[in-house]
Amino acid sequence: MACESHMEGLQNFAKQLQEQKATITAQIQSLDAQLAQAKNSYMKVEGAQEIIAIQIQKEEEESKAAVEAVVPEASGD
């Protein structure tokens, strides 16, 4: 009788471990998907920052060229 009770306890514990493993596996899969989504969003934002930086630089260069065309620098003559 004591052996059967001990065996049942071990089987219940094995079942609990299996359920816990399945839960953790599902959590890992969910977190992996969230991480992939976060990485994708990060890359999009980083790309947008690069594009904006290029546009700002281009605008600054165009503004500078426009000012130089309207107000020529003193030639020193």
pLDDT tens digits, one per residue of 3-17: 789 999 999 999 999
**Distance (Å, rounded) from C-alpha 54 to C-alpha 50?**
6
**Distance (Å, rounded) from C-alpha 60 to C-alpha 66?**
10
pLDDT tens digits, one per residue of 19-33: 999 999 999 999 999
pLDDT tens digits, one per residue of 39-63: 999 999 999 999 999 999 999 999 9
**Distance (Å, rounded) from C-alpha 27 to C-alpha 23?**
6
Residue appearing with tokens 């977190």: 31
pLDDT at site 54: 97
- Answer yes or no: is pLDDT of 75 > 70: no
Q: What is the pTM of this model?
A: 0.64
Using alpha carbons, select from 46, 74, 15, 51 the residue that is nearest to residue 59: 51
